[in-house]
Amino acid sequence: MSVIKKQLLSSLLVFFVFCLNAQKEDKAILLKTIDITADKIKYMTASKTQKIDSVQLNTTISSENLGMLLSKYTPIYIKQNAVGLSTIHFRGTSANHTAILFNGININSLTLGHSNIANIPSFLFSDIKIQFGSASALYGTDAIGGSIHLNNNPKWNKGLQIGLQQDFGSFHSCFSGIHFSYSNSRFSYLIKAFRSKKKNDFTFTNYQAKDFENDTYIIDTARNSKILNYGILQTVNYWLNQNLLSHIDIWYEDNWRQIQPNMSANYYGGDNAEILNKNTRIITGLKYYTGTNKITADLGFIHDYQVYNKNQNAKIATKSGLLRINYFNTDIWTGDLNIGLNIRHIKPEVYAYDKNLNENRVDAFLSFKKTFFNRLMSSVNLRQAYVSNYSGHFSPSLGFNYNLLKKSNSKTNIKLSYSNSYKIPTLNDRYWLPLGNPYLLAENSNTFELSGLYSYKSKSNTFDISLTGFYLIVDNWIQWINQGNWKPVNKKKVLSNGIEMSAKYQKKINKLRFSANLNFTLNSVKEVENYTGAKPDNSQLTYSPKMMGTANFTLTSNHWTWQNSVNYAGKRLTETGKVLNHYILLDVFIERKMKLEKHIFSIAFSVNNLLNKEYQNWEYYAMPGRNYKFSLKYNLNK
């Protein structure tokens, strides 16, 4: 029996058992206005944060992945190719400097140090938050550039809800999704499953294959670029009594893709390589509430598996178990307190490592938030991390949010923060034989951030604008370089600084609602010192655009939604010294909804890269031109 079938059967069994327990007792649980997910972002009072709202989620065809979603709505550079490899780069930092958190637990690959966000469909999550800037004091290793938070918050007393979705698109793409949920006053269950397939046989101008007779470049067709992904996510929340909530979250994915060849290999021939990833994430625990106190205890298990070209002798896998304990008090010293402990044991199973390797990580942390004079909100976060064979790392952060001016319909805030963060070298960095370096230093960063925010709200209009300046210095930046063989080295010091602007406007006109979202960033990131003694060349780090921007214009009514999206990325330097041209991508989305009592039907159509722009995110790797997607949805709310 396949893993996905086992997951489905176990999900149905869990649902059946919990339904029986929920029906045994008619006594309703009085739900408290409490934070079920214990979202720690609230302790970063001065950091820039962004939430992907329901309109943005709904106007993203669900077959699109997290990378596509972020590139559409945030000023973050997403380095992606055409066949399911996508990494995120906050404020000029590398992919290894972003923490991807599922229900508060870091799911980055322990061998590579980052997540392939092309493997995370937006379909799976209803709550996606982005936190810009360093936050190791809250989330531990990796959170130097920023963090992404993926959740499905429980909903109560919603009864039965069923959703079906079928998408079709260019290049033989097909996405199928189903979600099912049921909740009453004490029981909440959700399951989502999907299957995504794409042939990716798009045409492109091959700039490494020329027709010399006509002095033109060859119009080529992408080869060895197929994708097949499927997965399942389920979450169960059950009130055992008035104060005790139990939960379990299971997320399994199977992601197979061929490895896209560069333009030369695509035309002249090369290896038809492929890669398979399987990921299992399980989190279960209890949350106890009494008055202003809350205690949570969670156990987790994460298994990551990868095999290249079906060679089982070249397996790359890790297993890790974790324990997380938190105590919260929302009314202590007239502030909000969180103290806790995380323990994680890691066991790699990698063909290129020495045998019998394992690693233990322990993090103790404290967060406190308090408001002074009804105007000044401050927070302090402290974390002490211990890692096997490494000295401990202490990470503090401090933030202030001052309400400069508040009127009945507007307010102006000033935010100021400092944070220290760290990045433990990955297992590959240290143990990959023969190139790993066990003596690599952990990366250490210091970030200063200053923001100004203005908000206005009237009966029919809302307007928000923010301007953020940041200064990020990273010591011991780790980078793999080619010195005859690729090997990891510590750069001495990298400096990233810049400004970010975000603006949002909404207006209601009878039954129409118009919204506009603008994001822009100007970012310089350079090596300023190194250990070789040579003077840095003062050039922008590779694949880091100095300028990025997005714009979205959305018009909705009771039945129709129309959106235009613009994505701009500036010039980028490659490892070979080539400069990739800037690009502007224009997308269009239109949706028609029909409601019949408790049944909702919708038809959506989108055009990506409407102007058929030729561009590259990796040097000499083709990206698709104009392409289309068609989506059918059905939802039952009973």
Q: Per-residue pLDDT tens for 527-536?
A: 998 877 778 8
Number of domains in the chain: 1
For residue 448, what pLDDT is reported? 96
Q: Which distant-in-sequence residues (6+ apart) come within 8 Å of 122 by Cβ?
A: 57, 60, 62, 64, 65, 66, 68, 69, 128
For residue 605, what pLDDT is reported? 95
Residue 176 has pLDDT above 70, yes or no: yes
For residue 41, what pLDDT is reported? 83
For residue 213, what pLDDT is reported? 87
For residue 62, what pLDDT is reported? 56
CA atoms within 13 A on the CB side of 109: 24
Higher per-residue pLDDT: 484 or 206: 206
What span, in angstroms and rounded, lies between the C-alpha atoms of 317 and 494? 31
For residue 30, what pLDDT is reported? 47
Residue 8 has pLDDT above 70, yes or no: no
Mean pLDDT of 271-292: 95
Phi, psi for 101 (deg, rounded to 5)? -115, 125
Higher per-residue pLDDT: 634 or 57: 634
Residue 634 has pLDDT above 50, yes or no: yes
Task: Tell me the three state secondary structure of residue 388.
Answer: coil
Residue 58 has pLDDT above 80, yes or no: no
For residue 197, what pLDDT is reported? 94
Residue 39 has pLDDT above 80, yes or no: no
What span, in angstroms and rounded, lies between the C-alpha atoms of 544 and 148? 19
Residue 173 has pLDDT above 50, yes or no: yes
Element (H, E) at 596: strand 583-596
What span, in angstroms and rounded, lies between the C-alpha atoms of 620 and 270? 15
Residue 503 has pLDDT above 80, yes or no: yes
CATH number of the domain at 225, please: 2.40.170.20
In order, the DSSP letters of 393-449 are: EEEEEEEEEEEEEE-SSEEEEEEEEEEEEEEPPPHHHHHSTTT--TTPPPEEEEEEE
**pLDDT tens for each residue of 575-587:** 888 999 999 999 9
Q: How many CB atoms lie within 10 A of CB 441?
A: 15
**pLDDT tens for each residue of 429-447:** 999 988 899 889 999 999 9
Domain span holding position 256? 3-637
What span, in angstroms and rounded, lies between the C-alpha atoms of 224 and 200? 8
Q: Predicted confidence band at 44 (pLDDT cuts at 50, 70, 90)?
A: confident
For residue 55, what pLDDT is reported? 76
Residue 26 has pLDDT above 80, yes or no: no
- CA-nearest of 355, 347, 256, 342 to 307 is 256
Mean pLDDT of 481-505: 89
For residue 111, what pLDDT is reported? 94
Q: Predicted confidence band at 38 (pLDDT cuts at 50, 70, 90)?
A: very low
Q: Are 277 and 116 in contact (CB under 8 A)?
A: yes
Mean pLDDT of 128-132: 93
**pLDDT tens for each residue of 294-353:** 999 999 999 999 999 999 999 999 999 999 999 999 999 889 999 999 999 999 999 999
Higher per-residue pLDDT: 529 or 413: 413
